[in-house]
Chains A and B, each alone.
Chain A
């Protein structure tokens, strides 16, 4: 009565076909790929060998490419029953010693929040790619940056994590490697905030030689010569991050998501233990914001007006800034956030002086403008969001807004 016949499985692939396939990371050279493909290749390059996911537009291409490539490089892929189980399985894979990732979009991202919260408390490295699409609810399937706050604050409880925002096919490759590096170095879940535009765009990808790219792997207690008897699962090494063994290595680590003592004991609760535990995982990231974050400045010297952007909007903004500067607005500078979280107040303040107007185009109704305004509260008169929903800003949208504000100002009318 069953639909199954229980015969043995045979791969749909001949030995001849299998030989022709690339069985490792992309060799150095130029390729012309979708952003989605570049992301998977970056993950493989960084050593990722586990992918679990669930279909969702516009992230399914990443999953499909992973299904194709992972067994080729000796890794494993599984399509799980939903985004919740996909994210939870990353926790298991990571603790079994393997770099693990998934890709999703808004509705799936919401489902993964409990797992993100657990990964923060248990300090489990993993990567979630959010190919953002508009929301809320089912939203639509075009481009968006509406989940940038959710990435930082969408999980319940405290703690901190790291998020990056790529703007090109090359960066879908490079930033994925960096994301894994952050996850391994800081033992934290990392979010790659892509969007539909960059995922579905094709551009040249230049893969560098292996020795030119830094790939970081977690430090294990055995690397430091720490034996089982002396192993404390939550004792930071050199004040940074506790070494992380893999299940099966013999360290008998009991992973928990509850507040804990440094040895993993979860009884004997005291408010002091609680504060110490959560403070450590929070400060682990936030106290190092300036070290972790990556921010790029263009034309900052002597600039009095600033355009700020991140992700794919960077490209529209740079086009707009260059056109405006070409028209004579030579005091217009540009600041790009390559990482969004942790937000590096200090770093930004060291780069940006006194401004008249700061313009912030975002594919949302103005989200990252809030921490920016907090960081630069005494440095600028006006903070002007430039929202655009459902599609990438055209350079004209940004140019028109800047000219509207600065043009008025130049005519002495004020804001």
Chain B
């Protein structure tokens, strides 16, 4: 996967990265690059059609200078909006939004659900560590009730979002949740998501050993026991505290934004005709 990362620049080394030892982001990046590699090799998608778009947070740092792809490290929560502009300008781009739970569900909540509602052809890859990592460990919209953090020193009084449920309700075409302890499933889900025509939302539970003050290996082991594979029988059971459903929740085909809008353009351009046309009589005096 190293061929997909930027080499050393003239001003100094880009590696090692800024991520903490044991951080799950490195793993998720690895899974994403594997998925991209499969798409390049299997589907023949040109490498330079991929575009990584991030907001702010530890997960967003992936796009800051490491990727050997077109990328942007933009504004907190606004990556889906930036991706929207990029796609409408150049629809052949494969936009992958890199985000975290704070970026996508707090400040970026509205842009996240609107992108799902529009079913735009982008992939939102959310690394959920259940807190704000970059800024020091504040609680986020996915922090469970009762958990202490720097902004909930007496325990969090709020409930948590289920990001996948939000994506499903908002109308996404592909929704899945895995963890850093599920490498193959992650790679497949990201691959499927990018391949999917429509909005794909993939949530990966990602360990932050620094702020949770746990060993990364222990955290990953815990993920394997907390991740309950969704099946017909299990749906009827309720989850115990700390557990979450894992698997593919939605995988459907439905009209996508760009292909719908293209019909309007095609109607005007009459597909194959020249774009410039002489004056139409109705325009004067309007």
Using a CB–CB distance below 8 Å, which chain A residues touch chain B? 2, 4, 6-11, 13, 15, 18-24, 26-27, 29-33, 49-50, 52, 71-74, 76, 78, 80-82, 84-86, 88-98, 100, 114-115, 118, 122, 246-258, 261-268
B225 interfacial contact with A, CB 8 Å: no
Tell me which residues from 74 to 131 in chain B have a Cβ below 8 Å from any Cβ of chain A. Answer: 74-75, 78, 80-90, 92-93, 110-111, 114
Shortest Cβ distance from residue A246 to the other chain B in the assembled complex, whole angstroms: 7
Q: Which residues of A contact B284 (CB under 8 A)?
A: 29-32
Q: How far is the CA of A39 from the CA of B43 in the complex (A)?
A: 43
Q: Which residues of B contact A100 (CB under 8 A)?
A: 85, 89
Q: Are B93 and A115 in contact (CB under 8 A)?
A: no
Q: Are A72 and B78 in contact (CB under 8 A)?
A: no
Q: A20-B282, A33-B286 known; A8 and B74 CB under 8 Å? A: no
Q: Which residues of B contact A30 (CB under 8 A)?
A: 284
Q: Are B67 and A92 in contact (CB under 8 A)?
A: no
Shortest Cβ distance from residue B79 to the other chain A in the assembled complex, whole angstroms: 8
Q: Are B74 and A71 in contact (CB under 8 A)?
A: no
Q: Are B261 and A15 in contact (CB under 8 A)?
A: no
Partner pick for A92 among B53, B63, B277, CB 8 A cutoff: B53
Chain B: interface size category:
35 or more
Q: Are B275 and A4 in contact (CB under 8 A)?
A: no
Q: A21-B280, A76-B88, A78-B84 known; A118 and B75 CB under 8 Å? A: yes
Q: Are A76 and B74 in contact (CB under 8 A)?
A: no
Partner pick for B78 among A8, A84, A262, CB 8 A cutoff: A84
Q: Count of A-B contacts with CB under 8 A? A: 219
Shortest Cβ distance from residue B203 to the other chain A in the assembled complex, whole angstroms: 21
Q: How far is the CA of A226 from the CA of B236 in the complex (A)?
A: 61
Q: A96-B89, A247-B51 known; A268 and B254 CB under 8 Å? A: no
Q: Are A267 and B65 in contact (CB under 8 A)?
A: yes
Q: Are B85 and A88 in contact (CB under 8 A)?
A: yes
Q: Are B276 and A23 in contact (CB under 8 A)?
A: yes
Q: Which residues of B contact A82 (CB under 8 A)?
A: 110
Q: Are A256 and B265 in contact (CB under 8 A)?
A: no
Q: How far is the CA of A19 from the CA of B278 in the complex (A)?
A: 11
29 A–B pairs (Cβ distance < 8 Å), ordered by A: A11-B263, A11-B264, A13-B268, A19-B270, A20-B280, A23-B277, A24-B276, A50-B88, A78-B84, A84-B81, A85-B78, A86-B81, A88-B81, A89-B82, A92-B72, A92-B81, A92-B87, A95-B70, A96-B89, A96-B93, A98-B90, A114-B75, A115-B75, A249-B48, A254-B65, A254-B71, A256-B64, A261-B9, A261-B10
Q: Which residues of B contact A49 (CB under 8 A)?
A: 89
Q: Which residues of A contact B83 (CB under 8 A)?
A: 92
Using a CB–CB distance below 8 Å, which chain B residues touch chain A? 6, 9-14, 18, 48-49, 51, 53, 63-75, 78, 80-90, 92-93, 110-111, 114, 171, 254-255, 260-261, 263-265, 267-270, 275-280, 282-286
Q: A84-B78, A248-B93 known; A50 and B283 CB under 8 Å? A: no
Q: Are A92 and B269 in contact (CB under 8 A)?
A: no
Q: How far is the CA of A268 from the CA of B87 in the complex (A)?
A: 33
Q: How far is the CA of A30 from the CA of B285 in the complex (A)?
A: 9
Chain A residue nearest to B90 (CB atoms) is A96
